C-alpha cells in the first residue's frame, strides 16, 4: 500500500559521548487560538478487568484505561494495544506511515498524540484505529521544536469491520484512552518492565518491543527538557507510538532511535504540550 517508508533523521543524538545537536528554543504552535480556559476531563467509572470502560463523551466504543493491579507485562501489552493507532500520510509524492496513541476524548472527538515530524510535511490521509476501522483525522496542533503533534478524530466513526491487519477479535474490543499514573511513573528505574508499541506498514499496534530504561531524565539544556533513553530497537514507523509500564500505563511517546537505543518524550512532557495546544491537562494523580 505504501510506496516507501519515509526516513526521518531524529532530532536527538543518542550516544552519550557524541556532540550536542544544534537546536532552537522550545515553542509550541497552538492551532486552537480561542481555547484559553482549562477543562477537566471527566472519566467514566465502570471498571472491567483493569479498564474503565465508558462512553467516551458519547463516542462509539471508546473507554478509559485503568492501571492494572500489580505488574503483568502480558496483560499490560494487551491493554496498551487498544490505545495505539496508525497514521497514514501523503507527502513529497509518496505515502508513509507512523504511530500514534489515544490520549484523550473531548467534545470534539478522540485526541491522538503522535510525532510532529510525521505530520508537518504531509497530508493526513487516514487514521487506522486499534479495532481496524479507518477514519479521517484533523491535525489540531504541532509543536515547533518538540517532536509532538495532536490529531483529532471526529466522533462519527464508521461501522466496525476488520481491516488492515487487525486481529480477528479486535473489532470486539473497546478502544482505550491511555491511563496515566504519576506515582508509578515517579518510581520507574532500570528494573521496571517497559513495553514499546508501534505500527507496521499494514498493522495496528503490532510492533512490540520490551525495553530497558537507561536514563529516565537525561536533561539536555539545548532542548529544555528531559529525554527518556531506552535500550530498545525501534523500526521506522514506530515513531509516535507509546511506551507503557508493567501496569499498562502510558509513560512516554517514542520519538526515534539509533541502533539499540531509542528516545522518548515522557508523559509529563506530552501533558505539557497538550496544555499548550488545547488549554487543559490530563490528571495524572487520579488512579
Which sequence spans correspond to the domains of the chain?
44-278
Pick the range with the lowest mean pLDDT from 27-31, 102-106, 217-221, 281-285: 27-31
- pLDDT, residue 155, reads 77
Per-residue pLDDT for 20 more than 50?
no
Q: Domain 44-278: which topology?
A: Thrombin, subunit H (2.40.10)
pLDDT in tens, 213-271: 999 988 766 555 688 999 998 888 999 999 999 999 999 999 888 889 999 999 999 99
- pLDDT, residue 169, reads 54
Dist. CA 167–CA 130, nearest whole Å: 9
Per-residue pLDDT for 33 more than 70?
no
pLDDT in tens, 123-163: 999 999 998 899 999 999 998 778 899 999 987 777 765 44
Amino acid at each position: 500500500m505504501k510506496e516507501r517508508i519515509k526516513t526521518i533523521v531524529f532530532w536527538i543524538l543518542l550516544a552519550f559521548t557524541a556532540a550536542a545537536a544544534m537546536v532552537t528554543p522550545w515553542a509550541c504552535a497552538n492551532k486552537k487560538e480561542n481555547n484559553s480556559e482549562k477543562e477537566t476531563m471527566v472519566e467514566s467509572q465502570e471498571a472491567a478487568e483493569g479498564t474503565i470502560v465508558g462512553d467516551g463523551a458519547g463516542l462509539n466504543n471508546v473507554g478509559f484505561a485503568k492501571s492494572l493491579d500489580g505488574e503483568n507485562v502480558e496483560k499490560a501489552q494487551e491493554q496498551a494495544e487498544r490505545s495505539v493507532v496508525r497514521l497514514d500520510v501523503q507527502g513529497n509524492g509518496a505515502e508513509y506511515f507512523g504511530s500514534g496513541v489515544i490520549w484523550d476524548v473531548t467534545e470534539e472527538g478522540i485526541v491522538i498524540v503522535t510525532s510532529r515530524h510525521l505530520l508537518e510535511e504531509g497530508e493526513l490521509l487516514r487514521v487506522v484505529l486499534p479495532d481496524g476501522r479507518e477514519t479521517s483525522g484533523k491535525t489540531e496542533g504541532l509543536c515547533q521544536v518538540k517532536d509532538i503533534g495532536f490529531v483529532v478524530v471526529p466522533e462519527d466513526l464508521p461501522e466496525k469491520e476488520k481491516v488492515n491487519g487487525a486481529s480477528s477479535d479486535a473489532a470486539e474490543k473497546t478502544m482505550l484512552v491511555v491511563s496515566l499514573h504519576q506515582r508509578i511513573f515517579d518510581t520507574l528505574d532500570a528494573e521496571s518492565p517497559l513495553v514499546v508499541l508501534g505500527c507496521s506498514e499494514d498493522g495496528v499496534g503490532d510492533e512490540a518491543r520490551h525495553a530497558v530504561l537507561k536514563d529516565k531524565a537525561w536533561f539536555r539544556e539545548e532542548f529544555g527538557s528531559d529525554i527518556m533513553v531506552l535500550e530498545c530497537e525501534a523500526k521506522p514507523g514506530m515513531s509516535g507510538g507509546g511506551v507503557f509500564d508493567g501496569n499498562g500505563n502510558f509513560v512516554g511517546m517514542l520519538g526515534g532511535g539509533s541502533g539499540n537505543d531509542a528516545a522518548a518524550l515522557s508523559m509529563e512532557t506530552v501533558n505539557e504540550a497538550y496544555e499548550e495546544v488545547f488549554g487543559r491537562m490530563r490528571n495524572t494523580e487520579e488512579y
